[in-house]
Structure 1
Amino acid sequence: MGLSASDAFRRLLWGGEGDRLRATWRILLGFAVVLGALLTGSRLLGRVEVPGVLVNGPVALIVLLAVGAYALVASLVPGERPVRGYGLALDRRWARDFLAAVAVGCVFQGLVTALLLATGTGRVVETLSPGVASGGGAPAVAVAVAATAVGFVGVALWEELLFRGVFIVNASEGLAARGLEPRRAVLVAGGASVLAFGPAHALVAAQGASPIFAAGQAMAAAVYFAAAYVLTGSLAFPVGLHFATNFWTVSVFGLADSGFPALVRLDRSLGAGAIELLLVVLPTLVMLGLILGWVRVTRGGVSTDEALAETVRRRHGSAVGE
């Protein structure tokens, strides 16, 4: 006897066990709630006159609301894990990993900047630029820099929560449920997150960068963000790396003609040649080495985080529920 239409629809969403949404829908749920809340919050914020000196600082508030909305929805969906289950368990270890990642990210960006200057693809055009804080003196610049930092922590938080936490964990469970060995499922899911994250950034290429370079750079970044997540099982390190990347490229060696306050401004000219390939590959290899070193020192070895692997292992072979 065949399934009724309602039973078939339920099986499509919930699987045979009926205790949780299938992996695909869990991923889409996270993206829909967070992105929907961010879009709604941005539109509402657009109706409010915000002082220019706050630059992107208000983004952090919107992100907190979006993550809060997702946490609420997740608590109401049977079988869905809380957001802390994706690596947002804020404790001393999380803080330590985050701060270490910021330091590692600055070393990485320092290397990138040195290569830009050495190869002539970057040229200093301004120093000590106040940006939107112009005319306000040191206090205004301090506020603008702080607001910029807070805003980019928010950006890093929501992107890493979705593309690393929600995507990798649920995709790993779905793949393992269909018979793929758990640790391999995590690696494949991590690779898929790179493909999901990178190409989209070609549409938002930074000033002076071609869409091809922007996509390639974003995919390289997604590789080490994913590696940091898979090896630590926490969002702390990828969030720290992501924050350092964004903050460095706007407020340490920022873009020419940007409104963000910047220590130095660079005019960049990045296409899709051999030099650009070097600018992506060499720093990425250094970054991966630094991540592996931190994991070895703090975890005692380099492998897929055991808690993450165990989470995926519990779903191995249970395709009916995924």
Structure 2
Amino acid sequence: MHPYIHEYFRRLRLLAWNEREQRPRSLIRVGLFLILYAALFLTLPNLVWPSGDSLLRSATLRVLLVCCTLGLLLGAATYLDKRPVRSLGLRITRRWASDALAGAVIGGTIPIAAVGLGVIGGWITVGDPKYVLTSTYLQKIGLVIVITVSIAIAEELVFRGYVLTNAIEGLDLRRLLGTTTLLAAWSVSGLLFGLAHLGPTLVAGIHFLSAGVLLGLAYLLSGQLGLPIGIHAGFNFVSGYVVPMASDPSLAVVPLSVSGPAWLTGRTGLIQMGFQIPAALGILGYLWWRTGRVGVAPRISSKLHDEWADKIK
């Protein structure tokens, strides 16, 4: 082969392959991972019987998605990233579990505070709980917990555990400051999360984008997935089933009558979006209480080249 042709193919290969790390480059890893995840997400509903929208089917589907996503993450970590899967925010300890519980409180507080403001503003009326603690009702509660927790686990594994971790490494360029790298990777993760949840309105789209930013903040500061999983699950459970603002929810612990516009009082409305700011402050306060410091987690900053990693610790 002519030397020029050989050099051309060598450089072409280097666009996709990191010689120093002996693995595909971050963009290739993330792209391949997301393609496989999308294939799983689109295929699984056709494999779960019976069809329909029952809570049992939905819970079964979500559990299968979590199992498949964990398998995909393990395979990607082993063969693409060439690292242990626990390095993607899955170092499960008591602290990881306490982060998840604290996150559930922070996430669940967002819709409760939004409902409170809606009541004060006259847009929302709270009805009397109309349920009996039967075995059927408790079964529904159990199923919706499985659904919301499974959704949170699967999406956080993808968008924070894999995408954000690899984006930090891929954007860690010598010509960029460490803080710039983190902000860029954080933005990429939030943007992809927002695109995966395309809403019917601009306000809904901005809500999901800001939610992705909030969850990314929890991951960057804690260094583990426990906190963002808890926030995600807590918000979904409370906003979807405890104080749901949908017109016909499958389960409502506290029924609501909503008269305000959806862009303001809805589940993806401006009120709930606004309460993501105090939720971010709650994340900072919790981590300061737990660790005595507020800043990028050492596990995250260690991924940056040393010159700038030391400055943001």
Query: Which range, TM-score by smaller chain?
Result: 0.7 to 0.9
Deviates more, 1:111-120 or 1:284-293: 111-120
CA distance in 2, matches of 1:52, 1:19: 47
In 2, Cα distance between the equivalents of 1:64 and 1:196? Answer: 19
State the percentage of identical aligned residues. Answer: 25
| Stretches of structure 1 lacking an aligned partner (at least 5 in a row) | 131-136, 206-210, 317-322
Match of 1:262 among 246, 253, 264: 253
- Point out where structure 2 has 5 or more consecutive residues left out of the alignment: 309-313
Alignment correspondent of 2:311: none
Instruction: Kindly report which structure 2 residues correspond to 1:23-34, keeping only aligned pairs within 5 A, or say none.
Output: 23-34=26-37
| Residue among 161, 164, 186 paired with 1:168 | 164
1:101 counterpart = 2:103: yes
How many angstroms apart in 1 are the aligned matches of 2:204 and 2:131?
25
Amino acid at match of 1:12: L
Q: What does 1:125-274 correspond to in 2, within 5 Å?
A: 127-128=129-130, 138-203=134-199, 205=200, 211-254=201-244, 255-267=246-258, 269-271=261-263
| Counterpart contact for 1:34–1:69, Cα < 8 Å | no
Q: 1:197-242, CA deviations, whole angstroms, 9 ceiling, x for partnerless residues? A: 2254343x5xxxxx12211221222221111111001111111000
Distance 1:288 1:78 in 2: 33
- Provide the C-alpha distance between the structure 2 equivalents of 1:261 and 1:54, rounded to a whole number of angstroms: 17
Higher normalized contact order (CA 8 Å, seq sep 6+, divided by chain length):
1
How many Å separate the matches in 1 of 2:198 and 2:123?
19
Q: Which amino acid aligns with 1:29?
A: L
Bigger shift: residues 35-44 or 194-203:
194-203
Q: Which residue of 2 aligns with 1:40?
A: 43
Report the 3-state secondary structure (helix = DSSP H, G, I; strand = E; otherwise coil) of the residue aligned with 1:312. coil
Structure 2 counterparts to residues 16-95 of structure 1, below 5 A: 16-17=19-20, 19-45=22-48, 47-48=49-50, 52-54=54-56, 56-95=58-97
What does residue 308 of structure 1 align with? 300
Among candidates 273, 292, 307, match of residue 280 of structure 1 = 273
TM-fit CA distance, 1:100: 0.8
Equivalent pairs counted in the alignment come to 300
Shifted more, 224-233 versus 83-92: the winner is: 83-92
**For the structure 1 residues 264 and 129, does the alpha-carbon distance in structure 2 shift closer, same or farther, using more than 3 Å as the test?**
farther
Per the TM alignment, residue 7 of structure 1 is displaced from its structure 2 partner at its CA by: 3.5
